[in-house]
Amino acid sequence: MGEYLPAMKVSDLAEGSISTVDLKGLHVLLSRIGGEVFAVSGTCTHEEADLGRGFVVEDRIVCPLHLSQFELKTGEVVNPPATVPLRRFNVKVLGDTIFIEV
């Protein structure tokens, strides 16, 4: 089991938006959907594009390089060329602070 590290403030993550943070050498993509916060890897599993530069369609992040889509809640791949899901991180919210388990 990893440790929970503070990542950012909930109030800085608007509903439907994304943000990236780097924690312990990991690039993490945070999103807020339906008031809940989710965290997956922020690096595309296809050719390592920064998903923080991608765009959100419904509950998915679209890779800016070759347009694979991943579910923000689970990291699941929706379409090729990526075939490997994104790592998903556990999230805890305490007060206004988002903590990610790394």
**Residue numbers at the binding site for ligand FES (CB under 6 A):** 44, 46-47, 49, 63, 65-66, 68, 81-82
Residue 84 or residue 94: which is nearer to ligand FES going by CB?
84
Minimum distance from residue 61 beta carbon to ligand FES (Å): 10
Range 10-15, long-range pairs (CB < 8 A, 24+ positions): 10/37, 10/93, 10/96, 10/97, 10/98, 11/96, 13/37, 13/98
Residue 64 or residue 91: which is nearer to ligand FES going by CB?
64
Minimum distance from residue 60 beta carbon to ligand FES (Å): 13
Minimum distance from residue 72 beta carbon to ligand FES (Å): 15
Residue 70 or residue 99: which is nearer to ligand FES going by CB?
70
The 10 Å Cβ neighbour count of residue 58 is 9
